[in-house]
Amino acid sequence: MTASTRLELIAVPGLPLVRAGDDLAGLVLERLGTAGLVLQDGDTLAFAQKIISKAEGRIVNLATIAPSPRAVEVARVACKDPRLVEVILRESRRIVRCARDVLIVEHRLGFVMANAGVDQSNVTGGGEFALLLPEDPDASAAVLREAFRARAGRDVAVLINDSFGRAWRQGTAGIAIGCAGLPALVDLRGEPDLFDRRLRVTVVGHADEIAAAASLLMGQSAEGQPVILIRGLRRDRPATPAAALIRPAAEDLFR
């Protein structure tokens, strides 16, 4: 794959707070238009997971949750709200690590992540509500991509990103939990390098690198810039979903 030579990332300005049922493609197109930006074929739009989840109504009222005995026990160790832990466990396959203030799980979609991505911050109504990951983020991205094609006649890629902790690194980094129209992984194995040796192991987490780049503009403390327009990415590989970025448990570096 030829690398891009110039890349531009632009925060879509002035987006309103998103509520369940909102038409995200419509909102983005409207704000782009107001800002004098015209969507082009080949553009990529990166969406913060939170606004996808909100638009899809993935909000749980904790007052309606009765924690199981297991959730109560895990909550005691993790020092978290047992109702929140119940919601986290329902979204999870297994607990990877549980300690004070730490609850790392394998999400039902395969992500190894803190709190199964369940989030109490930035949700209207405050602490009594929690926001879950989208039901199927790759599908959400595909639906949005199709909406941009139908409404603007443009062939864009769509990516949904979230901030993940890492095993051996401090700090979070943007990660692609869903994408459509771009290659999540780029496999360079077998391509010659500069001196015509074969590259040994070079599969690039392309969508994760895009997600990290978009994350630089999204910020963390508010919803101010939840959609980033990315212009200049080459797209000469077949598209694959973000699910391809999940390392199968059998290849987990710790098993």
What's the rounded Cα separation, in Å, for the pair 238 and 244?
A: 13
What's the rounded Cα separation, in Å, for the pair 179 and 139?
A: 8
Candidates 2, 21, 64, 236: give the one binding a copy of itself (CB under 8 A).
2
The verdict on 13 binding a copy of itself (CB under 8 A) reads yes
Residue of 81, 114, 122, 118 lying closest to 98 (CA atoms): 114
When the beta carbons of 38 and 150 are compared against a copy of itself, the nearer one is: 38
When the beta carbons of 21 and 126 are compared against a copy of itself, the nearer one is: 126
Per CB under 8 A, contacts with a copy of itself among 87-146 are 96-97, 101, 104, 111-112, 114, 120-124, 126-127
DSSP-based three-state secondary structure for 235: coil
Token duo for residue 182: 């771009």
What's the DSSP call for residue 230? E
The verdict on 47 binding a copy of itself (CB under 8 A) reads no
Q: Kindly indicate which of the ranges 3-11, 26-34, 51-59, 82-90 contains the residues binding a copy of itself, using the contact rule CB under 8 A.
A: 3-11
Residue 111 identity? F
Residue 139 identity? A
The verdict on 206 binding a copy of itself (CB under 8 A) reads yes
Q: What's the half-sphere exposure (Cβ side, CA atoms, 13 Å) at 86?
A: 15
The verdict on 170 binding a copy of itself (CB under 8 A) reads yes
239 exposure class (CB count in 10 Å sphere: 0-12, 13-18, 19+): middle
State the nearest-atom distance from the C-beta of 45 to a copy of itself, in Å.
15
| Cβ-contact 218, 48 below 8 angstroms | yes
Strands 44-48 and 157-164: parallel
State the nearest-atom distance from the C-beta of 82 to a copy of itself, in Å.
17
When the beta carbons of 147 and 218 are compared against a copy of itself, the nearer one is: 218
When the beta carbons of 92 and 163 are compared against a copy of itself, the nearer one is: 163
| Cβ-contact 47, 160 below 8 angstroms | yes
Per CB under 8 A, contacts with a copy of itself among 226-245 are 232-233, 244-245
Q: Kindly indicate which of the ranges 66-74, 133-141, 143-151, 201-209 contains the residues binding a copy of itself, using the contact rule CB under 8 A.
A: 201-209
When the beta carbons of 134 and 241 are compared against a copy of itself, the nearer one is: 241
89 Cβ contact list (under 8 Å, min separation 6):
68, 70, 71, 74, 95, 105, 116
The verdict on 19 binding a copy of itself (CB under 8 A) reads no
The verdict on 216 binding a copy of itself (CB under 8 A) reads yes
Candidates 194, 236, 238, 250: give the one binding a copy of itself (CB under 8 A).
194
The verdict on 66 binding a copy of itself (CB under 8 A) reads no
Token duo for residue 97: 């690590």
State the nearest-atom distance from the C-beta of 248 to a copy of itself, in Å.
8
